[in-house]
């Protein structure tokens, strides 16, 4: 037995929900509830800024993360995701702005959004209510959609292209 075998799990990992218990865990969070989603393959400044701004819109922030299979279906590249789902979720759960991280395997989190009906659905500034899965359901239930403006021009795709050159 090593020292690592006797160490308790890091506290931030308690912020990760399984797909099976996601809805119950979301329902227990304080309202107003803010929801966002994405791949979050290589976390960068733009992600952190967007997540902090999203969290400021409510009392708690849920981040839904595409499964590895879902990322591959998005056509982000043959080698994506670079980081597996468990690692991407653990990194997000370590951010102070994030209250709960949940996985989703569908092409969009529309069903999850419709089931939990957050008060605010937040996405990066390149999205609109018309182009965001679940926005129609949130707005119909009295919630709102917020497009968070980009503070800096950062993207995982651009970062990976720079690394590859």
Helices (H), the chain: 3-6, 22-27, 45-55, 68-74, 85-93, 110-116, 135-140, 156-164
Q: What is the arithmetic mean of pLDDT over 157-162?
A: 61
Decide if 17 is inside a domain.
Answer: no
Q: What are phi and psi of 146, to 5 degrees?
A: -130, 125
Decide if 2 is inside a domain.
Answer: no
Output the pTM of the full model.
0.88
Decide if 125 is inside a domain.
Answer: yes
pLDDT digits (tens, 9 = 90+) for 70-127: 999 998 878 889 999 999 999 999 999 999 999 999 999 999 999 999 999 999 988 9
Q: What is the pLDDT of residue 164?
A: 61
142: number of Cβ within 10 Å: 8
Q: What is the pLDDT of residue 22?
A: 96
Are 50 and 148 in contact by the 8 Å Cβ rule? The answer is yes
Residue (of 15, 20, 109) closest to 60 by Cα position: 15
CATH number of domain containing 104: 3.40.50.620
Query: What is the span of the domain harbouring residue 108?
Result: 25-164
pLDDT tier at 39, thresholds 50, 70, 90: very high
Are 133 and 158 in contact by the 8 Å Cβ rule? The answer is no
| Domain total in the chain | 1
Decide if 140 is inside a domain.
Answer: yes
Decide if 15 is inside a domain.
Answer: no
Decide if 37 is inside a domain.
Answer: yes
Contacts of 48 (CB under 8 A, 6+ apart): 95, 97
Question: SS3 for 16-30, per residue?
Answer: ECCCCCHHHHHHCCC
Decide if 46 is inside a domain.
Answer: yes
Decide if 4 is inside a domain.
Answer: no
pLDDT tier at 154, thresholds 50, 70, 90: low
């Amino acid at each position: 037995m090593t020292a690592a075998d006797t160490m308790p799990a890091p506290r931030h990992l308690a912020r990760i929900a399984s797909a099976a218990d996601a809805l119950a865990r979301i329902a227990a969070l304080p309202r107003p509830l803010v929801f966002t989603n994405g791949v979050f393959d290589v976390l960068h400044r733009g992600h952190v800024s967007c997540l902090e701004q999203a969290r400021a819109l409510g009392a708690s922030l849920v981040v839904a993360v595409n499964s590895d299979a879902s990322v591959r279906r998005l056509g982000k590249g043959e080698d994506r995701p670079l980081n597996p789902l468990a690692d991407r979720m653990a990194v997000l759960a370590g951010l102070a702005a994030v209250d709960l991280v949940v996985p989703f395997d569908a092409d969009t989190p529309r069903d999850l959004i419709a089931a939990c009906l957050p008060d605010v659905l937040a996405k990066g500034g390149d999205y609109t209510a018309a182009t965001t899965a679940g926005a129609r359901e949130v707005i119909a239930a009295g919630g709102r959609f917020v497009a968070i403006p980009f503070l800096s021009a950062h993207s995982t795709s651009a970062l990976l292209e720079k690394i590859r050159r």
